Structure 1
């Protein structure tokens, strides 16, 4: 089995990881991509806490059902929440409303805090669903699913090459960093350090462009003409229909909760 996207970043650190198979892996990749996209759309457009919290609970259920490593998944969610923490600290001071407290003459509003928390819940719910439904499939499977869904070939190619060659660029970066360390380079807050880091990223960019040109020439020699060929026929089964119907019913419930709150 090819490496799942959810484990890619960790495997680049040199750890051998394998995704534990679950019933979600038996669902058609197209259904998983469509359901995750519709879920993200409905949750992001929600304006009330009730449907977003319900979406977050459903996301946790999917994480448990897909047998993701809970600690690793939470670490990645917390990494995003560190950015959301900045939003929570800033948004109350930029949103007008009832004053919660003031700092140096700047008033923080309850409405701003509520809006920041709502955005945080939405982001966590969408990220967890993407981890559960999309990140547990391999890059090639995702590429075939996108191609079957009539996504433009260029976008599919970009996604597949990004997943494949991020690892190559990462190894190239580590190689150059080891070369700098072998020459007794130590990170400091001075001009020499900033120049060296600039040269490092400049050389990384140049080597990436050169490698991309070599790959392009090699693909053209093998007859590549910009078309993504599908070698398998994806067929929907009973479990795909049942899962899709359940997700649609759940999304209709979320939409109904939003409508009810608007008319209250």
Structure 2
């Protein structure tokens, strides 16, 4: 069953347009790489456990090993190297600005000084570990989850017995962020067509306020139409397609077993 959209039968306006195709998505994965052919619920669980283990590590050696494992996972998932580097660069640019003050605010053995302000070795080490953890988490999410469509990720969450309301809220949020983005762009084009240009004056701020207000009004109207359409189609709070899970295969077992071994190995290296 699909979520309904506009009053004129816009069933494809639903929050998870691809939900009706979930039953056959597994066969499509079989033609892809090994990582994408693994059950989405297993991939989500492995990603969560791996990230928790990485966040708990306090050893540079263990974190460096985890970074290598995450990079291998990205390569195994056949993700674009350029995309991975761009996302890491965006993250690192933000993290470096945030972590730049750690060496100067953390007490410890002086490493160097800037304008008479000493930077500690402990602060630099802490900043490096935080940066490594962030990069490892981003790479593993990119490897295991970025290839999932929203509906497939919703099915994975449902398989892990997450609350149904949370799964539905997640799917609707993903869908309607894009819908509202398109609505915002249409309103901006209409404003530009009427000669509006952004300036730092009262007229600009008033116009931006009208834009935000109109976006909220249209969002409420759209949500009311969608709720009415869903009720007309007998929506009972669940999507049957999200509960249709294929049986686990040898790939799933092998992937889960290897992942458990990797996480235990990282934990042991971190302890030493």
TM-score with structure 2 length normalisation?
0.81
1:106 to partner: Cα distance:
4.7
1:103 to partner: Cα distance:
4.9
Quick check: 2:54–2:66 contact (8 Å CA) kept in 1? Answer: yes
- Rounded to whole Å, the distance in 1 between the matches of 2:214 and 2:188 is 11
Matched, 1:52 2:54: no
RMSD, matched Cα: 2.1
Matches within 5 A, 1:20-169: 21-103=32-114, 106-169=117-180
Q: Which runs of 5+ in 1 are unaligned?
A: 1-18
SS at match of 2:104: helix
Q: Which sits farther off after the overlay, 202-211 or 95-104?
A: 95-104
Q: Which residue of 2 aligns with 1:186?
A: 197
1:29 to partner: Cα distance:
0.9
SS at match of 2:119: strand
SS at match of 1:158: helix
- Rounded to whole Å, the distance in 2 between the matches of 1:172 and 1:196 is 16
Quick check: 1:153–1:228 contact (8 Å CA) kept in 2? Answer: no
SS at match of 1:108: strand
Q: Which runs of 5+ in 2 are unaligned?
A: 1-28
Q: Which runs of 4+ in 1 moved over 6 A?
A: none
Task: Considering Cα pairs closer than 8 Å and 6+ residues apart, tell me whether 1 or 2 has the greater RCO.
Answer: 2
- Rounded to whole Å, the distance in 2 between the matches of 1:116 and 1:198 is 40
- Rounded to whole Å, the distance in 2 between the matches of 1:107 and 1:198 is 47
Aligned length, in residue pairs: 242
List per-residue Cα deviations over 1:144-185 (Å, max 9, x = no partner).
111111000111001111222222111111111111211222
